[in-house]
């Protein structure tokens, strides 16, 4: 079964750091376009970051300079390092796969596979 499983969420103080992991089963993260998307409590979806199969990386302005996306192909795991955390970073963080890696050789900017999410709470 193809699936994504996030881990590493928790409670952290403002200014603190946390690393989220997204372990993939049934797919190779190095051959896919892997994103992180977050959802604050009771709010909508917000795209956070993406790492392309070729290694290109993009970030949303709201997290640029504070968050770092990376991957370990040997473990088929994508990471999101969260630093200088603020209260407004409190959210469920989803790992998501762009279906472009499956259908075409380019991203389709549509996410067909999602993890169950990891909750990050930034509070003192």
What are the residues binding other proteins (CB under 8 A)? 37, 44-47, 50, 58, 60-61, 94, 99, 108-112, 114-117
Least separation in angstroms between CB 63 and other proteins: 12
The dihedral region occupied by 48, where left means phi > 0, alpha psi between -120 and 50, and beta the remainder, is alpha
What are phi and psi for residue 64, nearest 5 degrees?
-60, 130
Least separation in angstroms between CB 22 and other proteins: 12
Least separation in angstroms between CB 102 and other proteins: 10
Instruction: Characterize 103-115 residue by residue with b for buried, 16 or more Cβ atoms within 10 angstroms of its Cβ, and e for exposed.
Output: eeeebeeebebeb
Of 64 and 86, CB closest to other proteins: 64
């Amino acid at each position: 079964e193809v699936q994504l499983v996030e881990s590493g969420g928790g409670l952290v103080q403002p200014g603190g750091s946390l690393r989220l992991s997204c372990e993939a089963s049934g797919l190779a993260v190095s051959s896919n376009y892997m994103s992180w998307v977050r959802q604050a409590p009771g709010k909508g979806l917000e795209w956070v970051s993406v790492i392309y199969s070729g290694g290109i990386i993009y970030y949303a302005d709201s997290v640029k300079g504070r968050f770092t996306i990376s991957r370990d192909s040997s473990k088929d795991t994508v990471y999101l390092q969260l630093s200088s955390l603020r209260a407004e970073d409190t959210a469920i963080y989803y790992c998501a796969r762009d279906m472009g890696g499956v259908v075409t050789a380019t991203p389709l900017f549509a996410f067909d596979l999602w993890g169950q999410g990891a909750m990050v709470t930034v509070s003192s």
